[in-house]
Amino acid sequence: MEFVEPDDEPKPYRQPPLPDDRLWRHPSEIGPKRPSARRQLWVVGVASAVAASLLSTGLAVVAGSLLDAGGGSRPADTAGVLPTPMFVGAGADVVSIADRVRPTIVQLKVERSRSGSGSGVIFRSDGHILTNAHVVEGAHEVTVVLATGRQVPGRVIGSDADSDTAVVKIEGGPFPFADLGSATNLKVGQEAIAMGSPLGLSGGPSVTVGVVSALHRGVTTRTGRTLVDMVQTDAPIAPGSSGGALLDAGGRVIGITTAMAMTDAGAEGFGFANPIDAARSAAEQLITTGRVVTVWLGVEGDDLDGPTAQSLNVDGGAMIQRVKADSPAERAGLAARDVIVGVNGKPVTSMGMLAMSVRAHRPGEVCTLDVVRDNQHHGMKVTVAERPAGS
């Protein structure tokens, strides 16, 4: 399986891939849809996504207020409150949601060595736009196309490759802005609505509907980078939609669309979104300080496999394969083969969930890990630190 960057202008023809001796491919290597006797499944990587083993290379953390002093990312009377996502049973009124949210979705025309387009979400009334880092990577000019069709120049405020998050600013306003929710309490099967500007088409954003197909997905790109804790959805995500919004049934943004799965026969009908909690954290830091502060736990590992989880009598966990020297994990006494099954009393069933749990901490804060070692549970305190350069 391979992920395709859904952010490039469509081409009339692309060179078919050469005989394959590797798993991951760049979107430029994907040829036209064609029949295949052996339907090979692969995922095309999204550039500048989360680095391999997010826990070893750094985790985005919240720095400063999540509120917008110049307009806010949510109304003042709900400031600081993360709403519980609505579920399928709530009966999403997609027409009303589309009418309300479409004005906040923009198309980004990016000029660089190879021109392309992507999407973005206005999340502040003063014109701050949330998108993917790979959408604006290498850009020397960005034009923002509003839902009305009006084109205005955009300025890249900052970009962070590790979290695949970027912020673009347009002048003027006040602009309509999206209501940012939370991915913390998402449930598999709840309704999901995707909005973006696919294929560089004019006429405003597109709307597709599906469900949250899976949570805490971890997938690796052809460049070796790993997307961790992704929200999987079957709401169709087409090229050009990267940086768009994934919404819950209440019209709140729960993710920023990042990648879609492909086979040699074409798109496989499901895509992935970066949880809004991590994207918002990175965006606020880029606006406030110009960079994303990351914390360093200093471990590499994998999801605990089923048989091992059964033998340990746990629902899952994060199995440590390697502890880096002079890291917070080493100082806390963590070791290879330790299994982390909880953080601060909340269960952890995968490396992705561990990543999301640690993102809530700032450098210097202490978190308590529930660690299984030699079939015994141990409470271990770890003081997370800012990631050293080059780690």
Is 374 part of the annotated catalytic residue set? no
Q: Catalytic pick from 48, 73, 134, 370? A: 134
Distance CA 243, CA 132 (A): 5
> CA 66, 387, 215 angle in degrees (round to 5)?
60
Query: Is 164 an annotated catalytic residue?
Result: yes
134 included as an active-site residue: yes
- Beta-bridged to residue 371, according to DSSP, are 340, 378
**Would the CA dihedral through 374, 303, 131, 391 be positive or negative?**
positive
What is each CA distance from 58 to 119, 281, 327, 355, in whole angstroms?
26, 14, 11, 9
| Buried-state track 328-344, b at ≥16 Cβ within 10 A, e below 16 | bbeebebeeebbbbbbe
Q: Say if residues 194 and 245 touch (Cβ distance below 8 Å).
A: yes
Residues in the chain: 391
57, 160 in Cβ contact below 8 A? no
- Please tell me which residue in 7, 8, 164, 338 is annotated as part of the active site: 164
**Which one from 48, 163, 206, 242 is the annotated catalytic residue?**
242
Active centre residues (catalytic): 134, 164, 242
